[in-house]
Structure 1
Amino acid sequence: MQQTKKTYTVQEATKKLEHYCAYQERCHKEVVQKLTSMHMIPEAIDVIVVHLLQHNFLNEERFAKTFVSGKFKIKAWGRGRLTFELRQKDISKVNINQALAVISDEEYIGVFNDLAEKRANSIKEPNKYKKKKKFVDYFLYRGWESHLVYDKANELIK
């Protein structure tokens, strides 16, 4: 039996994407992927993306700021990881820098220090070199600057 794929008119797809963007901040790349998965032709995709931009459903700067504050507060990602993830979503350098500027240096270092204390206490490893490696790997993976990580590792793990 032939499976028929659902097709959408431009109006239906526009409505669907308005809801998609209203529910959660989206970047251009996510919207285009969604429309592509709905089997929309490139011309229709362009029309819908322009509509979403004009009606403020889609705003890359707003997306970047929301993304950065969420991932920083909830997942405690460092600037390196945040930058990497935004680049993966094709966000412009200007928007990435504006979004990262939302995090104050005091807040950034404060979160890092709190997390470092907790992490150092939670690693149950008798060998101090292995413990340091686990500590460092944890923070580098989350995109924290290496000079911060190594200084903290040497300070906390003796």
Structure 2
Amino acid sequence: MFWIEQETPDTWAHNLKIPKNIQIEDPADIGIDENKPDSLTNRVVKQTEFQLYNSFQPGLYKYDFWIGKIESGSIYLKAFEITQNLALSADRLPKSSSISIYNPTDSIIKFGTNSDFTIYEGDWGDSYAGRFEVWFKPDNGAKERKLYSKNYKIEGWMR
């Protein structure tokens, strides 16, 4: 069964269309060397911002998140296919994208993932539109809240 599953393409995204009436960005490329482009890592950010990065294989991603003053807690991602609002990798994404944050100042600080997270829906070369939401879970037990949302053209990881 393992070999059959590996040889069978994932047709999940075959008929999805990328909308033309909304802003959708391409993730920045990191590549095998894991170096983020200087144009992104050295830029001055003056407001809350999110940047998605393609890792070394399609469907594998990293991200950076810039934010000002915020209490201690963790941020994590939720992702959705845009045209049908279907949750992507919902059972794994919040945990695999979670990072601890804390910024007691008004200055914008960058936080980012060190390891990859995976979007499983779809296949290499089968692009579709995904909405990425950054969620915050405070350490003090207060209610979780959405901090940011941005649309990207993505691919799923070929299993």
Q: As a proportion of its length, which structure holds more helix? A: 1
For Structure 1 versus Structure 2, the TM-score category normalised by the shorter chain is under 0.3
Give the number of the structure with larger relative contact order, counting CA–CA contacts within 8 Å between residues 6 or more apart. 2
Instruction: Calculate the TM-score normalised by the size of structure 1.
Output: 0.22
For the pair shown, which has the larger CA radius of gyration, 1 or 2?
A: 1
The structure with more strand, counted as a fraction of residues: 2
Using structure 2 for the length normalisation, give the TM-score. 0.21
